[in-house]
Amino acid sequence: MRFPLQFRHAIQRSFLMIALFGLGTLSLGTPSPVLAQSAPRTAAPLPLNEVRMFTEALDRIRMSYVEEVDDHTLLEYAIRGMLAGLDPHSAYMADEEYDQLQETTTGEFGGLGVEVGRQDGYIRVISPIDGSPADRAGILPGDLIIEINNKPLREMSPDEAANMMRGEPGTEVTITVAREGQDPFDVTIVREVIAINSVRSQMIEPGYAYLRVSVFRVNTAEDLEREIAKLTNDNTELKGIILDLRNNPGGVLQAAVGVVDAFVNEGRIVYTKGRLEEGDMEFMATRRTVAGDAPLVVLVNGGSASASEIVAGALQDHGRAIIMGTRSFGKGSVQTVLPLDEKRAIKLTTSLYFTPSGRSIQAQGIVPDIIVDEAFVTRRSRNVAQYNESDLEGHLRNGNGEDDVTDDMAQALISAEEVLVNDYPLNEAMNVLKGINAFKPQRTSPASGSFAQRSN
């Protein structure tokens, strides 16, 4: 049987409402500008032939599909398909999916702890969250998840796949992973409550700080400022900072702006442009910085996406940091969450963001100033036949009154740099910072000799 005329008119009206949506915006998830409270008064008329074709297809599905499907479900499928066909990041969210987006951006949720996108019809891992079950299980950026609990994911949206990976803490989920150069393999992971600690820090060597930002959530900028303050309180002078954004899948736009603002004191940080002028935004730096002018190196790789690319691009354009690593992911689009009712919303790509110099990162990524591939550093041990002057019996004491270097002191130095041994890009970043400091001339006391200046 065919749809009654009034039902067809209702469908046309519903599509008109979808085409003209202008609801308020929730600042949830990845970058969310504020759109106008109402859509423009004038809009292009709906193509009636295509609307008739849609209602005809809907009618035939209702009549001929092998199993009966209610109208509510069919219309929701239509909305999902409409959004999925636009781009990999637009999606329809209902009930739990909507709640889960809030959990992700505020910092605690149950699941595996992995950020995913879509590639070639499959689910691609953008990055596992540091210390999450997925990270500990060895899931890597670039892995394709082709099945979850033996259910193929072909043409499934990233949000649907993420929903399948969520669940009660302590329960298991088995994912089938396709990795380049390997046969597909299964990984069984126990779900946990993912409490995201987005910033951690340590002193690698005296004066050289390491800051790791794993994801950008609401309080990330404040957490980073707190870590920098702690480091500067413990160490009177910072000779250099390494900001590690590798495998950082992004997050909240305002958090990225706050991180950049910790390092620069003037100028534009990022701006967005879309079809609606009301959605165009510009963020400027304030004069308040917490990192001073300490030399800065930012590490990125193919798992650095979205908000982390905003940070890297802004610091690169300002000349405030040297960007090292490999080309970033290239997600330069902005998603806005638009409620449809109390339980449902659409996450829609509404604009693109641009770095201070006007670069769009979309599908291009950030190209590092210095390309450094992922690798491991192997430290050679000292040859037993190798001697230093300090090893010779009866050697003269140092004329400057300094102690001889002993094996214990050399071993202590190696222990202090242990974190660098297994991380080649981090090791290279340290070398760059040391080179910057070595190039800075320092005045010496006249009593030290005839040289007016010397290097570190």
Q: 29 pLDDT band (50/70/90 cuts)?
A: very low
Q: What is the mean pLDDT of residues 168-183?
A: 92
Using CA atoms, how far residue 247 sits from 130, 158, 370, 440, in Å, is: 9, 18, 18, 33
- By C-alpha distance, which of 358, 298, 360, 304 is closest to 332? 360
At 147 the pLDDT is: 93
Q: For domain 199-335+348-371, which CATH number applies: 3.20.20.70, 3.90.226.10, 3.40.30.10, 3.30.450.40?
A: 3.90.226.10
Run of H or E residues at 438: helix 424-439
Q: Helix/strand/coil (H, E, C) string of 195-210?
A: ECCCEEEEEEECCEEE
Q: 146 pLDDT band (50/70/90 cuts)?
A: very high
At 403 the pLDDT is: 61
Domain boundaries, the chain: 5-97, 108-195, 199-335+348-371
How many Cβ atoms from other residues are within 10 Å of residue 71's Cβ? 13
Pick from 278-282, 304-308, 397-401: least confident: 397-401
Are 145 and 161 spatial neighbours (Cβ–Cβ below 8 Å)? yes
Catalytic residues: 306, 317, 331
At 114 the pLDDT is: 86
Same fold, 108-195 and 199-335+348-371: no
At 377 the pLDDT is: 61
The correct answer on CATH 3.40.50.1380 for the domain covering 108-195 is: no
Residue 167 or 264, more confident: 264
Asked if residue 393 has pLDDT above 60, the reply is yes
pLDDT, tens digit (0-9, with 9 covering 90-100), for 354-383: 999 999 999 999 999 999 998 766 655 555
Asked if residue 341 has pLDDT above 70, the reply is yes
Look up the pTM and report it.
0.69
At 319 the pLDDT is: 97
At 64 the pLDDT is: 95
Q: 316 pLDDT band (50/70/90 cuts)?
A: very high
